[in-house]
Structure 1
Amino acid sequence: MNHLVFEVGLAIALIALSGLISSKLRFSVIPFYILIGMAVGPHAMQWWHFDFRFIESAPLIEFMGRIGVLFLLFYLGLEFSVGRLIKSGRSIAVGGSIYIGINFTLGLLIGFMSGFPLAETLIIAGITTISSSAIVAKVLVDLKRTANSETEMILGIIMFEDVFLAVYISILSGLVLSGSSSLGGVLLSAVIALGFMLLVLIIGRKAVPLLNRLLNIRSNELFSLVVFASLFLLAGFSETIHVAEAIGALLLGLVLAETDHRERIEHLILPFRDFFGAIFFFSFGLTINPMELGGAVWLSLAAVVVTLIGNYAAGMLAGRSAGLSSKASNNIGLTIVSRGEFSIILANLGKAGGLMTIIQPFAALYVLILAILGPLLTKESKHVYNLLNRVFKFKDAQKKKPDSMVLHEDGSV
């Protein structure tokens, strides 16, 4: 433990350096955080004259990264509204079903056409279906799109994915780890996940007057302790019932966004969101072994191409089904294309089940590519939309009457 503080300080310095480089290049900072972690991680030591392995600090850096995901999703919830989410329940269910249906089907096709057995194919389909909540949240905040009309659908799809993930992991755990799966256990996991989310949203909205009184605390220290305790307790409890801890953080943010203390909480959370969020992407890069990626290049590239096409089509269909414009629907398909933490979780499940060794390098390379492309495509969504509109001539693109939204130069709506 003698070098713990030094190792953490070195990690933060590298993160800051990569952030400065991205700022100079005017490029999304997320890929730089991931790449610097990958470059100095425990698997790349032969490239360097110095020891950057972060041996003593690795568990702490990983935990700080988990905290970063919580703050990212919590802040995203604060920027939204539980009232809007509840009112849009039907459109979110339809949009989420469209998104999952298209991407999961394409994932199955990738697995079967590549000649993988059933278990490996199911793992690959899961990897290619679930978006990265952390990257999506970071992009929405960085591009100042939290108030956009399509953000409602994006958040809804993220939550819908979590219900799907809870059920899917239950099924895969039975198939991959024990060779069987209990239908009752799968249904119970789905009911618990969905019921918990609805319960938090409904009770939270009813309890707004009580929360206003409870949070009326003059001391900033006590106010911070109450907010942080609520965040970690709800996120931690979510994980115990097989709902992603990040979704628990998102739910709390949605509830507290309805209170009179939203702006004070945002001001409190902002520096923690930026600091721990950066550490998450760095810690994610540390887990990638560059030396194992070569054997999965063609499979990963094929999956990336299929995902980009399927994700965009799903986003357009989901947005149009909710009555959004083509521009807003375009933003949905591009924003949620990133893959990340959930894909790695599924790959680790395949490793634990003794499946083919190509699964992990495939997941790492696939996630890395989309973690880089996702933020870039989202930032350049205006240019992507204009380019595709020339080819497909979206129906509402020629309306003389402009949409209620304005597309800015930075790609925000």
Structure 2
Amino acid sequence: MADVTATHLPALITDLAFILGTAGITTLIFKKLKQPLVLGYILTGLLVGPNFDFMPTITDGKTISIWGEIGVIFLLFSLGLEFSFKKLARVGGTASVTAMTELLGMMTLGYVTGQLLGWDTINSLFLGGIMAISSTTIILRAFDELGVKTQKFTGVVFGVLVVEDLVAVLLLVLLSTVAVSQQFGGEALMLAMLKLGFFLSIWFLGGIYLVPSFLRRARKLMSEETLLIISVALCLLMVVLASEAGFSPALGAFIMGSILAETVFNEKIEHLTRSVKDLFGAVFFVSVGMLINLSTLAEHLGPVLLISCMLILGKFTFSTLGALASGQPLKQAVQVGVSLTQIGEFSFIIATLGVTLQVTSHYLYPIAVAVSALTTFTTPFLIRSAEPLYHFLEKHLPSHWQNRLDTYSSSAQSISHASDWQLVLRAFAQIMITNSVVLIGIILLNIQYLGPLVADTFPGLWGNLLTVFLALVLMSPFIYALSIRRIGSRAYSRLWRDKKYARGPLLGLEICRIVLALLFVGLLLDQLFSIQVALLIAALLIGIIFPLLTHRLRKTYDRIERRFLTNLNERELENESPVKKILPWDAHLAEFRVSPDSYFAGRTLLDLALRERFGVNIARIERGSRVIPVPRGTEWLYPADKITVIGTDEQLAQFKPHVEIDTSVMDLAMDQPDISLRQVVVDSKFPFLHQSIRDSGIREKTNGLIVGIERHGHRILNPEPSTVFQTEDIVWLAGDTRLIKSIDG
């Protein structure tokens, strides 16, 4: 009789099979109902959790929890791939002001709400963080379903979401610090923020310098399999570094994602890791649902309803006020306000952090999930109500308020001249901050790793001298840049010629640079000598030796800077940037893809007469790798051309069905455009004052198209070439952003 050996499966495999099978069925149902899949995952966790005795459940919750933590890492890594710090720098003042107003308002409101409910400080702080962050997933789904992606306000919403992404990661770090230390004072938070700012800076600078260079050198060897393995390895490496520095693993994943977002491999990495993120993300959200206790939720139904109402009203109020403060018209401000009235995946992560650290009460987690579910369902209805709500406000607001809002909105969108002092101070700040961060990083590297390693090999004085010598070699290009390198800008030269008022402050700034460099060198030498001797040696190095090596140090620093900037801008150089919308009057920019079935395909712009038929203008045509800025009437449109169109919401809505047949408008990215629609104020510095549009050659010099001129309160749309620029004209110009700024001073 043959022996039959039963195969024993580990609990991990049976639990995972059960969870994914249940999640698959649930998400099919939610897909059919056109609801977010995240809610389906949470419902799955609720079903397989401890709430229902008649339902089968998992056997090893600890292992699933570990997989959930891996899911958070990949969610944050994916978010970093979509984020990039350059994108944050380019969202503009409108989105930044709106986001910061909303975030500060909601964190305060959340804390106050927690205190009113009788919660302790830590629960109230976590509630503020949970209520502050809107859901990118839910907003994008709602925009898709409602077909509003071509409207002006969506560009502001996307910009706000970019700022919120970074703030959410910072919140994870700050809440972790507060929860662990139980210190709520301003000094502890300030130290935590300074530490976080330093590590973010050093990781970003070092990552941009090293990672894209490595990937570029290994490009010929990069198969999809190799790229996936290297990307995941880099992600986990940064996770380890972040943990070693005392931060959450999620921060490390986010940082590495944002570094890889600047490389030309970004889209490919995002594609390769999407399935990994979806798998582990599903397990994470299922684990979210498993932590919900229905009896606790029923017991706290009142706080759920109260927090939901406070969240919707608070987000609408603060987002609308922020948009108005940033210069948005009332209609767009209301649309922005109603779009951000929900919480989602990041709020779950913040709530999970409280559970993991065991610092929040058992009721906060299910309350956060319930509030998210309620606000998810209300979001589409609120977005639909934006226009009626705007008309209601317009009807009941006093006329002088409306006039002030209109005037403020128009003036806020004007291009303002940056003074020479602003330009010079910005240059000084950039030099001092970036080089100081690098120098502090090298000193810490020397203290923590290089010094002990050399001391083990060469103990005693000679080992210390060798350590200092190696550190100085690494530091010297950055000390040169911090203390000696000249700021070669025209603004600096103009100020330097003003001996009476400007030269003294400039000398003061130069002295500050030198003193700062002396302190860094002295800090390094302090381990061998007294502080007085260390500063004396530092003065000799910076005052005598470094000037003798200026040529070599300049070449070294220029090479480092050139590689960094090449890596930072590599993706832009190889890929065309999409267009972001700017808001003059009622017009903005949107992108469309010419369908092969469109009547427009195979015809010239002159034949189509788009301005006469729809009131729109074509600002750019992208055809493969070729870009045609401000095309002439003789230019043809071909299938698959990507066109950038200027028009109002209504004009674009009428135009869209004719150009895109059975396709949806392409997603609007949040990167800074190559071209934009800008407002230029004509003053005494305007180079084409008292010249006609034709004679000025402004079209050729900016690759631009003058859409309109506002003169003494009257608007001239599509002005004639003979129109002469006059003082105080407000010119709306569509063209290359950098070229437009160059003519404006």
TM range (shorter): 0.7 to 0.9
What displacement does 1:67 show?
2.6
Structure having the larger proportion of residues in helix: 1
SS of aligned partner of 1:150: helix
What displacement does 1:282 show?
0.9
SS of aligned partner of 1:130: helix
- Assess if the C-alpha contact under 8 Å between 1:126 and 1:346 holds in 2: yes
Q: After TM superposition, list the pairs within 5 Å mapping 1:127-166 onto structure 2.
A: 127-130=127-130, 136=135, 138-139=137-138, 148-166=155-173
Change (3 A) 1:197 1:378: farther
Change (3 A) 1:240 1:307: farther
Aligned to 1:402: 587
What displacement does 1:185 show?
4.5
Change (3 A) 1:208 1:320: farther
What displacement does 1:384 show?
4.0
- Assess if the C-alpha contact under 8 Å between 1:127 and 1:344 holds in 2: no
What displacement does 1:213 show?
1.4
- Kindly indicate whether residue 213 of structure 2 is the aligned counterpart of residue 210 of structure 1: yes
What displacement does 1:287 show?
1.0
What displacement does 1:6 show?
1.5
Q: 1:278 aligns with which of 282, 287, 300?
A: 282
Gaps in structure 1 of 5+ consecutive residues: none
Gaps in structure 2 of 5+ consecutive residues: 1-8, 395-401, 410-582, 591-648, 654-663, 669-745
What displacement does 1:16 show?
0.3
* Alpha-carbon distance in 2 for matches of 1:328, 1:202: 37
- Assess if the C-alpha contact under 8 Å between 2:95 and 2:160 holds in 1: yes
- Kindly indicate whether residue 204 of structure 2 is the aligned counterpart of residue 19 of structure 1: no
Deviations 1:184-225 (A, max 9, x none): 544332212222223333444455751441451333332221
Letter in 2 for 1:60: T
Aligned to 1:297: 301
Aligned to 2:273: 269
Moved more, 88-97 or 14-23: 88-97
* Alpha-carbon distance in 2 for matches of 1:75, 1:253: 6
Aligned to 1:123: 123
Moved more, 289-298 or 80-89: 80-89
Change (3 A) 1:122 1:7: closer
SS of aligned partner of 1:404: strand
* Alpha-carbon distance in 2 for matches of 1:196, 1:90: 25
Aligned to 1:360: 362
Change (3 A) 1:150 1:160: same
* Alpha-carbon distance in 2 for matches of 1:340, 1:139: 14
- Assess if the C-alpha contact under 8 Å between 2:113 and 2:307 holds in 1: yes
Q: 2:39 aligns with which of 31, 44, 47?
A: 31
Q: After TM superposition, list the pairs within 5 Å mapping 1:57-136 onto structure 2.
A: 58-88=61-91, 94-116=97-119, 120-130=120-130, 136=135
Deviations 1:152-189 (A, max 9, x none): 331222322433453344334444xxxx6676544332
* Alpha-carbon distance in 1 for matches of 2:255, 2:242: 10
Identity of aligned residues (%): 21
SS of aligned partner of 2:59: coil
Q: After TM superposition, list the pairs within 5 Å mapping 1:121-270 onto structure 2.
A: 121-130=121-130, 136=135, 138-139=137-138, 148-175=155-182, 185-207=188-210, 210-214=213-217, 216=219, 217-270=221-274
Superposed structure 1 runs of 4+ greater than 6 Å apart:
89-93, 394-400, 406-410
Change (3 A) 1:258 1:165: closer
Change (3 A) 1:122 1:199: same
- Would you say how many aligned residue pairs link Structure 1 and Structure 2? 392
* Alpha-carbon distance in 1 for matches of 2:354, 2:44: 24
Change (3 A) 1:71 1:111: closer
- Kindly indicate whether residue 56 of structure 2 is the aligned counterpart of residue 51 of structure 1: yes
Structure having the larger proportion of residues in strand: 2
Moved more, 18-27 or 101-110: 101-110
SS of aligned partner of 1:128: helix
- Assess if the C-alpha contact under 8 Å between 1:78 and 1:257 holds in 2: yes
Larger RCO, structure (CA 8 Å, separation 6 or more): 1
SS of aligned partner of 2:389: helix
Deviations 1:42-80 (A, max 9, x none): x2132x1x531x122x23322222333333333333334
* Alpha-carbon distance in 2 for matches of 1:341, 1:225: 26
* Alpha-carbon distance in 2 for matches of 1:308, 1:344: 22
Change (3 A) 1:112 1:76: closer
What displacement does 1:229 show?
0.5
Letter in 1 for 2:340: G
Moved more, 11-20 or 26-35: 26-35
- Assess if the C-alpha contact under 8 Å between 2:88 and 2:163 holds in 1: yes
What displacement does 1:367 show?
1.3
Moved more, 391-400 or 300-309: 391-400
Aligned to 2:333: 326
- Assess if the C-alpha contact under 8 Å between 1:131 and 1:337 holds in 2: no
What displacement does 1:337 show?
6.2
Higher alpha-carbon Rg? 2
What displacement does 1:380 show?
5.5
Root-mean-square deviation over aligned CA pairs: 3.8
Change (3 A) 1:173 1:270: closer
Letter in 2 for 1:100: L
* Alpha-carbon distance in 1 for matches of 2:38, 2:126: 23
* Alpha-carbon distance in 1 for matches of 2:110, 2:370: 16
Aligned to 1:372: 373
Change (3 A) 1:33 1:98: same
The two structures have a TM-score, normalised by structure 2, of: 0.47
Letter in 1 for 2:79: L
Moved more, 136-145 or 192-201: 136-145
* Alpha-carbon distance in 2 for matches of 1:17, 1:132: 32
Change (3 A) 1:151 1:67: farther
- Assess if the C-alpha contact under 8 Å between 1:235 and 1:246 holds in 2: yes
Aligned to 2:620: none
Deviations 1:322-372 (A, max 9, x none): 5564377337623656631212433665x55xx8xxx422x1332122332
Change (3 A) 1:258 1:174: closer
Aligned to 1:383: 384
SS of aligned partner of 1:195: helix
Change (3 A) 1:264 1:100: closer
Moved more, 368-377 or 250-259: 368-377
- Assess if the C-alpha contact under 8 Å between 1:314 and 1:333 holds in 2: no
* Alpha-carbon distance in 1 for matches of 2:201, 2:93: 13
* Alpha-carbon distance in 2 for matches of 1:152, 1:203: 26
What displacement does 1:306 show?
0.6
Aligned to 2:733: none
Change (3 A) 1:375 1:112: closer
SS of aligned partner of 1:167: helix
* Alpha-carbon distance in 1 for matches of 2:318, 2:307: 16
- Assess if the C-alpha contact under 8 Å between 2:102 and 2:319 holds in 1: yes
* Alpha-carbon distance in 1 for matches of 2:40, 2:274: 21
